[in-house]
């Protein structure tokens, strides 16, 4: 189990530290008897560092799950057991594998077979072995039968990366689980046991990369002494098949190299980056590369020198290319100079550059065109840049989704984007990430991890870390399957518990959208910290920083007209998608106010006026949170006391804040609609001035 012998487990065994890697004895006696009859030994062939990690994990898992502390290992025994090997390393084992299955395996892939008296875990390479071992342990943890086991698995995407928005002073931008787990002061000499458990947790769900530092970058991390600290983490993570990446501050040649410029076309600047990258690879031969945020929200970039994004990305790509590194250049850009629509700017800046980037450059695109909102349509850039590989950027930390106190399971939101058809011909966003000729494919998630005992600040926030990894490995997995796996591994295999709490999780995203931003409303959170509602804010210096910019409420109606009669942002989508979003009749209601300014008295498909529909959506969201808590309270006997009560307290907070959102937003929008909230609905507890007066200057993650 996690943190054996470490101080993190403390007196309570149920503080959440073990995440989903809880190798407790299987409770189902019949299933336990079956497992024991099929496993009386195991052997892991080979001796690479990764195979050694797999061997230790399998031993740890089997000893705990089967309650068999004397289970033989390393030496082949008679009877039934587990044989773990790399494909092609054991001719006898290879003969037991179907040729067509072996031919399907790609890098990091694996097979799980039940053949004769043996359970086989066969990896295409040692990385595949590690992932296969975790898959087998997951089956046992979730009490699945092994009798007819036949699994062939390959990752859909090559690079599956966590982006930490962690600063060198250990604060975490948009972090709600304490301080950064990276203690730069004690590195490289002290390696906290938590670093190893972090690697194990990520490897168990297929994550193979980590960006250690914030996209709002600090050049200091590229200084030689800090690179030694980074090396210590890279060395520790390597056996778990996790590469380290760093954020590169574009002005580093000035700040560290004392050059007068960071112009990407300046030979001295090019030389500085080449020498810095060479230094990095001498320390870390498998270094992954750089993530760059440039010319966005005050970050320096190539546009400071009259150059474009391709010029900036190619500068770093040329330095990384000889070593096999990549550049992940973020497309999150917007500026006060663009007076039309923030929705359009990333597309306008990057699509004309398609084909101008080096082969080892990926453009990192957020799932939607604004900024990780509770619901957004898919970003119009997906499927458009045919000559440049795009990588998806999701946000696991809940910046706009209740932050650290709301139960919001994000897999349904991510699936909505991944499964979105971008051309009317069946091409989904997920499939568009895969087939680029350069073979580069990737997905990134902004981490929700901190140094709290339970890693994520809220037990149910762990599910989003888990879900990101599982979807990064296989985007075809359903939200329901992932939720069920996580519940069984984290809490209980009790069927009543799993069925009941899975329903809470699967409905939680829609519930959150309803009490925050229903019907396509967006970015109406309070500014800066983004905690709580602030649809009335309209006095900030840049128009696109104001919530009023996004909802555009007036006496006639509410919503942002992005059709041809407005900013025409719909023009950036393919014709099939454009036709749907442009049509007031056919635009899905969940995106309605994103693309249309709709009259308060206009009838929706439900027959209700927009105002009544808005009121009832807000109230439904708040009511559903009440139901979530009442349902959770029926599970008290199914969950350990500590985690039950901690979740219950969080749900109390969510109840209060859902009603706050409901009442504050409806009280504000009522000033434009001039219409009553339906009498059968609970009326706001306070007037608008009260909600405007609320102030939270020290909200976490600011």
Containing 598, the helix (H) or strand (E) segment is strand 598-599
549-553's contacts with Cβ under 8 Å and 24+ in sequence apart are 549/342, 549/523, 550/370, 550/521, 550/522, 550/523, 550/524, 551/521, 551/522, 551/524, 551/593, 552/597, 553/669, 553/672
Overall size of the chain counted in residues: 702
Per-position DSSP letters for 128-194, written without gaps between them:
HHHHHHHHHHHHHHTT---TT-EEEE--SSSEEEEE--B-TTS-BTT--SSS-S--TTTTTT---HH
| Apex 82 CA angle, 134 and 19, nearest 5 | 20
To the query of whether residue 266 is one of the catalytic residues in this protein, the response is: no
Task: Give the Cβ contact number of residue 675 at 10 Å.
Answer: 16
- Which residues, including other chains, have CB under 8 Å from residue 373's CB and lie 6 or more apart? 400, 517, 522, 523
In the chain the first and final C-alpha atoms are separated, in Å, by: 34
CB count within 10 Å of CB 362 equals 27
**Which residue, among 603, 536, 598, 601, has the nearest Cα to 562 in the 3D structure?**
598
Choose, from 278, 297, 676, 682, the residue flagged as catalytic: 297
Radius of gyration of the chain (CA): 26
What is the Cβ-side half-sphere exposure of residue 352, based on CA atoms within 13 angstroms? 7
Mutual orientation of helices 193-204 and 462-473 as an angle, nearest 10°? 50
For residue 258, the cross-strand partners are none
423 is a catalytic site residue? no
CA atoms within 13 A on the CB side of 641: 1
| Distance separating alpha carbons of residues 391 and 413, to the nearest angstrom | 17
3-state class of 541 per DSSP? coil
Q: What beta strand segments (E) does 314-367 contain?
A: 326-330, 361-366
Q: Residue 696 has which token pair?
A: 């939270």
Q: Which of 101, 371, 571, 602 is catalytic?
A: 371
Residues 6+ apart with CB under 8 A from 557: 597, 598, 599, 600, 602, 610
Q: Please identify which of the residues 341, 399, 416, 452 carries the catalytic annotation.
A: 399
Cα gap 676→304, rounded to integer Å: 51
188 preceded by a cis bond (ω within 30 of 0)? yes
Is residue 51 within a helix (H) or strand (E), and if so which, with residue range? helix 49-66
Three-state secondary structure string covering 62-104: HHHHHCCCCCCECCCCCCCEEEEEECCCCHHHHCCCCHHHHHH
With helix as H, strand as E and coil as C, how does 192-260 read? CHHHHHHHHHHHHCCCCEEECCCCCCCHHHHCHHHHHHHHHHHHHHHHHCCEEEEECCCCHHHHCCCCC
| 228 classed as catalytic | no
Could you tell me whether strands 326-330 and 289-292 are parallel, antiparallel, or unpaired per DSSP bridges?
A: parallel
Burial 215-224 (b: 16+ CB within 10 A, else e): bebbbebbee
Neighbouring C-beta atoms of residue 495, cutoff 10 Å: 10
- Tell me the catalytic residues: 297, 371, 399
């Amino acid at each position: 189990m996690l943190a054996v012998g470490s101080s993190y487990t403390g007196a309570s065994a149920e503080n959440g530290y073990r995440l989903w890697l809880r190798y407790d004895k299987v409770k189902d006696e019949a299933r336990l008897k079956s497992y024991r009859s099929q496993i009386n030994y195991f052997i892991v062939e080979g001796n690479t560092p990764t195979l050694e990690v797999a061997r230790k994990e399998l031993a740890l898992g089997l000893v705990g799950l089967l309650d068999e502390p004397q289970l033989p290992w390393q030496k082949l025994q008679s009877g039934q057991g587990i044989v773990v090997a790399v494909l092609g390393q054991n001719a006898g084992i290879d003969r037991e594998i179907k040729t067509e299955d072996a031919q399907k395996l790609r890098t990091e892939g694996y097979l799980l077979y039940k053949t004769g008296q043996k359970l086989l875990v066969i990896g295409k390479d040692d990385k595949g072995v590690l992932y296969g071992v975790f898959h087998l342990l997951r089956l046992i943890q979730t009490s699945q039968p092994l009798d007819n086991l036949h699994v062939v698995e390959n990752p859909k995407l090559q690079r599956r990366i966590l982006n930490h928005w962690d600063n060198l002073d250990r604060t975490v931008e948009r972090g709600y689980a304490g301080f950064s787990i990276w203690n730069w002061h004690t590195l490289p000499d002290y390696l906290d046991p938590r670093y190893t458990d972090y690697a194990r947790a990520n490897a168990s769900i297929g994550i193979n990369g980590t960006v250690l530092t914030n996209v709002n970058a600090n050049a200091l991390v590229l200084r030689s002494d800090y690179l030694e600290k980074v090396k210590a983490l890279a060395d520790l993570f390597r056996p778990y098949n996790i590469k380290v990446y760093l954020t590169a501050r574009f002005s580093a040649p000035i700040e560290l190299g004392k050059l007068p410029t960071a112009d990407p076309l300046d030979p001295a600047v090019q030389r500085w980056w080449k020498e810095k990258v060479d230094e990095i690879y001498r320390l870390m031969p498998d270094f992954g590369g750089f993530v760059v945020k440039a010319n966005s929200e005050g970050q320096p970039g190539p546009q400071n020198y009259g150059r474009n994004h391709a010029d900036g990305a190619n500068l770093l790509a040329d330095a990384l290319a000889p070593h096999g590194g990549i550049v992940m250049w973020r497309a999150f850009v917007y500026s006060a100079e663009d007076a039309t629509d923030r929705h359009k700017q990333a597309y306008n800046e990057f699509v004309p550059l398609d084909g101008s980037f080096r082969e080892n450059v990926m453009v990192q695109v957020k799932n939607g065109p604004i900024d990780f909102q509770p619901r957004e349509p898919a970003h119009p850039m997906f499927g458009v840049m045919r000559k440049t590989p795009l990588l998806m950027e999701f946000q696991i930390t809940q910046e706009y989704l209740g932050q650290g106190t709301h139960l919001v399971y994000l897999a349904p939101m991510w699936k909505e984007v991944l499964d979105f058809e971008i051309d009317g011909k069946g091409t989904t966003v997920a499939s568009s990430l895969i087939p680029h000729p350069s073979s580069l494919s990737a997905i990134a998630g902004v981490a929700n991890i901190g140094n709290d005992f339970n890693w994520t600040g809220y037990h149910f926030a762990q599910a989003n870390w888990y879900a990101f990894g599982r979807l990064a490995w296989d985007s075809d997995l359903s939200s329901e399957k992932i939720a069920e796996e996580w519940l069984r591994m984290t809490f209980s295999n009790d069927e009543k518990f799993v069925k009941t709490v899975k329903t809470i999780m699967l409905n939680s995203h829609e519930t959150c959208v309803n009490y925050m931003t229903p019907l396509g409303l967006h970015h109406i959170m309070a500014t800066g910290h983004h905690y709580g509602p602030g649809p009335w804010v309209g006095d900030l210096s840049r128009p696109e920083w104001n919530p009023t910019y996004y909802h555009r409420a007036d006496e006639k109606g509410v919503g942002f007209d992005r059709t041809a009669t407005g900013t025409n942002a719909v023009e950036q989508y393919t014709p099939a998608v454009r036709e749907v979003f442009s049509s007031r009749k056919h635009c899905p209601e969940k995106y309605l106010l994103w693309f249309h300014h709709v009259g308060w008295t206009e009838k929706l498909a439900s027959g209700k006026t927009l105002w009544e529909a808005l009121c009832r959506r807000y109230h439904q969201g708040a009511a559903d949170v009440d139901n979530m808590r009442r349902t959770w309270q029926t599970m008290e006997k199914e969950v350990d006391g500590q985690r039950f009560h901690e979740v219950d307290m969080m749900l109390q907070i969510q109840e209060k804040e859902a009603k706050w959102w409901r009442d504050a937003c409806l009280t504000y929008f009522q000033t434009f609609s001039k219409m009553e909230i339906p009498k059968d609905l609970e009326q706001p507890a306070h007037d608008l001035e009260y909600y405007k007066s609320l102030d939270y200057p020290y909200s976490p993650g600011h």
